[in-house]
Chains A and B, each alone.
Chain A
Amino acid sequence: MLFFYIWVMLTINGQSVDAAGKTVAEYLAEAGYNTVRIAVERNEEIVPKAKYAETVLTDGDVVEVVNFVGGG
């Protein structure tokens, strides 16, 4: 009999990241993002800026942090 053990992490911008338990605000600060220049999507839903501090990342989450740079 085979046993499969799947180590579930969360994915941020396509990379597996060990950030479960952190809030979005904590993750963004550690990763060095400037929060006035980004949009954060979590499992296909926007994370409102007002909720960065209370939204806790959990294993299996798929997160996209879109960083805007100047020019247009």
Chain B
Amino acid sequence: MNAEMPSRDEMYAALEKRQGSEAVKKLQAATVAVCGLGGLGSNIAISLARAGVGKLILIDFDSVDVTNLHRQQYKACQVGRPKPEALLSNLKEIAPYTEYETHFEKVAAENAEALLAKADVICEAFDNAEAKAMLVNTVLENMPQKYLVAASGMAGYDSGNSITTRKVTKRFYVCGDGKSDVADGIGLVAPRVMLCAAHQALTVIRLILGLE
């Protein structure tokens, strides 16, 4: 490891100074799964790693493509690499003492329970609407004890103020504007996707801290 890398104790002390020791203790004890490592998931993972979440489970079946670079947390030199591996290498530079588990595979109804068993909170961060609905239904039907933070509607150039966090039921939250569909040809722009990812990451943190 690089000689200039701060030690685990230094980073922990700095986190405590900024976020409070009680909060850091709770965050360190938490495991969060991020399903999909695109515009939402890569940003969620980086936010949570920075905030001191103890363990992240990172899942995606895709590799970095040049069309991802405008909004996803990868580097041009990482094109072609599996997203879990590329994100892991970026995360290790940002938050080296977080525990990471990566899976280069597609989440489906059949493998979701095994992949997500250890997570306290699950983030749905796919881009495909059917895949989003599949994961949400699978988690709510088969893993009712989990907290689930999903996203719907962050395409286009509408005001960021239209992105919200909605508590649907006790353990299920949806972030986004609920309607801006990438299928309508309105594209995706980094700050709007990041806003939605930030809503998701903040909701995860609030859940871990018992503030929801």
| Neighbour of A69 across the interface among B137, B152, B170, CB < 8 A | B152
Shortest CB distance B197–A (Å) = 9
Given A37-B129, A46-B140, A46-B141, residue A72 in contact with residue B151 (CB < 8 A): yes
The closest CB in chain B to the CB of A62 belongs to B169
Q: Binding site of A, secondary structure by majority: helix, strand, loop or mixed?
A: mixed
Q: Binding site of B, secondary structure by majority: helix, strand, loop or mixed?
A: mixed
| Neighbour of B133 across the interface among A48, A64, A68, A72, CB < 8 A | A68
Does B54 belong to the interface (CB within 8 Å)? no
Does B174 belong to the interface (CB within 8 Å)? yes
Q: List 10 A-B contacts (CB under 8 A).
A: A36-B130, A36-B133, A41-B168, A49-B137, A64-B169, A68-B130, A71-B182, A71-B193, A72-B36, A72-B126
Give residues in B with beta carbon < 8 Å to A. Answer: 36, 38-41, 125-130, 132-134, 136-137, 140-141, 144, 150-155, 168-170, 172, 174, 178-183, 188, 193
Give residues in A with beta carbon < 8 Å to B. Answer: 36-39, 41, 44-46, 48-49, 64, 66-72
